[in-house]
Structure 1
Amino acid sequence: MSTRHHHAYVWLGHGSVLTKPGDAHRRPGHAEFRSAQVMPLECADWLLKPVDRILGTFHVPDEGADWYASQLAVHAGLFVGTCAPSPDREDHLRALAAGEDIVGGWWVGGERFLSVNLVACSPHRVRTQYVCPRLSHDHQ
């Protein structure tokens, strides 16, 4: 998997877990980082989580944009009031084709937070030193 692609991640959990107390468990240097089910502070750090956290891998922008829109549709019932996102397919296609991440985070009912992410890989634009989690998993 050396060509540019995007990995898909979703986290839905109680907001108190984001700061349980503090956010050290959401940083790669923390002992709990890899096992913590909560989303990382920086979207690129999803690539450092265990490979089983990847919900999909997309090599084609259309497929990634479709997945992202489908996740918003799946979770549509959770959005409170007017905070519901409106997917902009053209923006998502442009971003994915450029190797950018698509990251969304929303407070939803029940004091929960929903995070939906497509994280660029091979390479990541900011964290070029990160190895694809699928490749690093294959070599363990």
Structure 2
Amino acid sequence: MAGPHHHAYVWLGSGDVLVKPGDAHRRPDHPEFRSAQVMPLACADWLLKPAGRIEVTFEEPKEAADWYVAQLGHYAGLFVGSYPPEASYEEIVRALSVGEDRVGGWWVSGGRFLSLNLIACSPHRERPERGCPLRWPRGGDP
């Protein structure tokens, strides 16, 4: 995929795996990082996960914002507790348009945690050395 774009990632799982038995498996230098079915600690590290973890890829910021807002609506009934209001649609589009990530995390029913992520790629603003997972050789490493 050429040009700036955003990859969408969703993680919904037990909140226990985020903190127990530590977070080493959520760091790129851990041998299980690429195969760990849990969100990474740093947003840009999603780009080090296999391409199969990508839900969808967007070249247009408005389409990415539409996806993010739709996902929020889909999961909103599961949220536990109160959260500050999300940024406006226009603010999400503006942020994505300048290559920023859009990341949100919420505790949801059943002791689970939901993470919605739109990760900028080609290049990532903070980690430009992170290559696009769609460009790796099949089954290869970044």
TM over 0.5: yes
Q: How far has the Cα of 1:139 moved from its partner?
A: 8.4
* Distance of 2:118 and 2:107 partners within structure 1: 19
Q: Which residue is 1:34 aligned to?
A: 34
Is 2:120 the counterpart of 1:120? yes
Q: How far has the Cα of 1:111 moved from its partner?
A: 1.2
Deviations 1:67-118 (A, max 9, x none): 0001101111111242275452011001100000000011112111100000
Q: Which residue is 1:108 aligned to?
A: 108
Q: Is the 1:9–1:116 contact (alpha carbons within 8 Å) kept by the matching residues of 2?
A: yes
* Distance of 1:19 and 1:36 partners within structure 2: 14
Q: Which residue is 1:133 aligned to?
A: 133
Q: Residues 84, 110 of structure 1: CA spacing in aligned structure 2 closer, same or farther, 3 A cutoff? A: farther
Q: Is the 1:69–1:87 contact (alpha carbons within 8 Å) kept by the matching residues of 2?
A: no
* Distance of 2:24 and 2:68 partners within structure 1: 28
Q: How far has the Cα of 1:130 moved from its partner?
A: 0.7
Q: What TM-score, normalized by structure 1, do the two folds share?
A: 0.94
Q: Residues 42, 118 of structure 1: CA spacing in aligned structure 2 closer, same or farther, 3 A cutoff? A: same
Detail structure 1 runs of 4+ shifted over 2 Å in the superposition.
81-87, 137-140
Q: Which stretch of the first structure deviates more once superposed, 103-112 or 22-31?
A: 103-112
Which residues of 2 match residues 1-140 of structure 1 at below 5 A?
1-83=1-83, 85-86=85-86, 88-138=88-138, 140=140
* Distance of 1:59 and 1:81 partners within structure 2: 34
* Distance of 2:6 and 2:41 partners within structure 1: 18
Work out the number of aligned pairs and report it: 140
Q: How far has the Cα of 1:34 moved from its partner?
A: 0.5
Q: What TM-score, normalized by structure 2, do the two folds share?
A: 0.93
- For structure 1, the residue ranges without an aligned partner over 5 or more in a row are none
Q: How far has the Cα of 1:20 moved from its partner?
A: 2.2
* Distance of 1:65 and 1:7 partners within structure 2: 12
Q: Residues 71, 109 of structure 1: CA spacing in aligned structure 2 closer, same or farther, 3 A cutoff? A: same
Q: Is the 1:105–1:113 contact (alpha carbons within 8 Å) kept by the matching residues of 2?
A: yes
- Residue type of the partner of 2:45? D
The alignment's C-alpha RMSD in Å is 1.5
